[in-house]
Amino acid sequence: MSINYIVIVESKRLTHFKIGQNRSYRLELMKSLSDDGYSNKEISEILNKNKIYKVRTKGEYSHNDVCMGLKKYRRRLERIKSDTIIEFSEDLILTPIKISKN
């Protein structure tokens, strides 16, 4: 007896790469502040006031940096959630067993 499964999944995660903990913290903080109703300008002021600087240039955040960071982070989260099962099938195969008497 054997059971065979065929599962076809459509995913956009194949291009998904892991971001560093420091960058992830910044993006989650920006998203949290945005969800709480802060504007992009207010978020950039909060980040700069707390000496949280941009990852690559180590400069201060502008409202446009926050806007684009949030936009890309939200798209990233949607890509991660976008897996769909296209087809699922299960086959049960029974094979007769021959018992011989000696």
pLDDT at 49: 96
Do 72 and 49 meet the contact criterion of CB atoms below 8 Å apart? no
pLDDT at 13: 62
Over the stretch 51-100, which tens digit does the pLDDT of each residue have? 999 888 889 999 999 999 999 999 888 877 776 766 777 777 777 777 77
Q: Residue 85: what pLDDT?
A: 66
Instruction: Give the three-state DSSP class for 8.
Output: strand
Domains of the chain by residue range: 19-83
Higher pLDDT, 18 or 44: 44
